[in-house]
Amino acid sequence: MWHDLMQRLEGRLVALEPIREEHREPLRAAGADPVIWAWMQIDGSEPEGFDRWFAHALREAAAEREAPFVTIRREGGPVLGSTRYMTLRPEHRGVEIGNTWLARSAWSSGANVEAKLLMLEHAFERAGVMRVEFKTDARNEESRGALEALPATFEGIFRKHMLIHAGIRDSAYYAITDDDWPAVKTNLERRLQGRR
């Protein structure tokens, strides 16, 4: 893993903190709504599902295979959700940003936009990444719309890509390259203007 991927990232609205054991119960509370997990591999709104999800995050971080974060409001505010760098390919300078979820109270608040800005800026400008990938359930119109609004480039559908708790998932793939990054950064900064 790039050792510098796993560090606190701080914006005006949110901060992304490397996940730790003390985040377990605040994250469980933030993820209690089953709607959050509709398109995910695990239903983290259920106690057993959440514990599996959380244990996986800690295990992958310890093994340096992923860099999971907790999304919090700045200034010691509440835990809002989680996101991570995953599918790390340092030999090809590529990562995926995924396993992202937010409490419904944080939807449309700018938290996801700023979290993406922080992660993309860190990847492209400090870690030397040249490609950031995203994937989502092909049926998840909200997520696909959010990715297109970055804008990330749609690269196709991987049919029968994975099994999730709700069945078989076709995955829609998107990406941003270092060539795209200046325009994406300008767009994200514009979208965050006036947010508090």
Peptide bond into 151 cis (omega under 30): yes
User: Which pLDDT band holds residue 3 (cuts at 50, 70, 90)?
Assistant: low
In the predicted model, what is the mean pLDDT of residues 164-190? Answer: 96
Using 50, 70 and 90 to split pLDDT, how confident is the model at 196? low
Mean pLDDT (the chain) is 94
Extents of the domains making up the chain:
3-192
Taking residue 100's Cβ as centre, other Cβ atoms within 10 Å add up to: 20
pLDDT category of residue 4 using cuts at 50, 70 and 90: confident
Question: What are the pLDDT digits (tens) for 138-149?
Answer: 999 999 999 999
pLDDT value of position 77: 81
Q: What is the pLDDT of residues 154-174, one digit of tens each?
A: 999 999 999 998 899 999 999
Query: With 60 as the cut, is the pLDDT of residue 1 above it?
Result: no
How confident is the model at residue 75, as a pLDDT? 76
Percentage of residues in the chain with pLDDT exceeding 90?
91
Least reliable range by pLDDT among 88-97, 122-131, 160-169 = 160-169
Express each pLDDT in 25-79 by its tens digit: 999 999 999 999 999 999 999 999 999 999 999 999 999 999 999 999 987 789 9
pTM for the model stands at 0.94
The closest of 137, 140, 175, 171 to 154, measured between CA atoms, is 175
What CATH homologous superfamily does 3-192 map to? Gcn5-related N-acetyltransferase (GNAT) (3.40.630.30)
